[in-house]
Amino acid sequence: MERHRRTARYQSPPGQEPPRETAEAPSPSPRLERRAAQYSPGKPLPDYTYLPAPQDRIERKSRFVQEGDAPEKPRKRMPRLLTALMTLLFFVCAALFSGVWVMRGYLAREAQAAEEAHQQLVERHPIAYQQWIEQYAARNNLQPALVAAIILNESSFDPAAESSISARGLMQLRENTADWINNQYLHETGYAFTRMFDPECNIRFGCWYLGYLSRLFRGDPVCVVAAYHAGQGRVRDDWLQNPELSPDGQTLLIDQLPYESTKTYVRRVTRDYGIYDALIFHAFNSPDAAAGDADGGAAR
């Protein structure tokens, strides 16, 4: 009986639930208090009591990706200075590449133009009877390029050429000059002026006469060529004796020659002399050949 009374002491009255002991709510942490302070009054605080499980986060992320609602991550951008340098480098490389192609095209055009000019130069300066020119030029201590230039301007390598004053052959020798050369020096057997149409005979006579003029005028090319065109007496006795034309009495300047035709002739011969020397007879400019010409006073 006593035991039942004790048990009844702890029972609740009918219709009432027995009081339950509740645990005291823990005070919020300082971190939550700082988070709560960031929100304005009246705004609901975020619920930090629920954190989705890892699997739940994965499912939500996959759902966002499928629906296209997932926020894009900000892209990493290169620094502005690096971008500018790379752009500048691109334009520099493009300019260099373009410049190389432009330069290659320019050089190709220049090479083609030089080849065409060289071909035209060769066509305007033909050569014939080269063996006889070299043979008789060497015998008379002359440069074969000078002989070739004389022939080009006198007859254009036509052995049958004859001028209005009856000068004949490749080197256009007049009858009185050819007769004087033969009677005084060469003494050709069976000589006749008609033989000046023979290329070998004409070159032999003309080279001897050029060698004679070269010795007479100490190898000065302007005097030699002017005497071949205007006559040795006019150059020796008139022009070299005139201080206005020859201050030293031994040389002449092309621009000071009194005859316009002789001036033009000397200019053409000396020009073609250099061209033939560069195109064909450059081998004759060896040191040994130059020394031999200097000793003999040949026209150069």
Q: Identify the structural domains of the chain with CATH numbers, from first to last.
A: 130-212+263-296 (1.10.530.10)
pLDDT on residue 125 = 93
CA 296 to chain centre: 43
Residue 223 has φ and ψ, to the nearest 5°, of -65, -40
pLDDT on residue 77 = 64
Residue carrying structure tokens 């432009």? 102
Q: What proportion of the chain, given as a percentage, has pLDDT over 70?
A: 68
Q: What is the mean pLDDT of the chain?
A: 80
CA distance 191 to 170: 17
Q: Which residue has the higher pLDDT, 48 or 93?
A: 93
Burial 9-39, CB ≥16 within 10 A → b, else e? eeeeeeeeeeeeeeeeeeeeeeeeeeeeeee
pLDDT on residue 292 = 44
pLDDT on residue 283 = 66
CA distance 83 to 94: 17
Q: List, for residues 250-259, the tens digit of each pLDDT value.
A: 999 999 999 9
Q: List, for residues 177-213, the tens digit of each pLDDT value.
A: 999 999 988 888 889 999 999 999 999 999 999 999 9
Kindly tell me if the per-residue pLDDT of 22 is higher than 60.
no
pLDDT on residue 81 = 81
Question: Cβ distance 256 to 240 under 8 Å?
Answer: no
pLDDT on residue 291 = 39
CA distance 39 to 156: 112
Mean pLDDT of 151-174: 95
Please name the amino acid found at residue 294.
Answer: A
Kindly tell me if the per-residue pLDDT of 146 is higher than 70.
yes
Burial 217-254, CB ≥16 within 10 A → b, else e? bebbbbbbbbbbbbebebbeeebbeeeebbeeeeebee
Q: List, for residues 238-250, the tens digit of each pLDDT value.
A: 999 999 999 898 9
Q: Which residue has the higher pLDDT, 5 or 199?
A: 199
CA distance 239 to 258: 8
CA distance 169 to 163: 9
296 pLDDT band, cuts 50/70/90, is very low
Contacts of 252 (CB under 8 A, 6+ apart): 220, 222, 223, 226, 235, 239, 240, 245, 246
pLDDT on residue 294 = 42
Q: Mean pLDDT lowest for which of 4-18, 90-104, 249-263?
A: 4-18
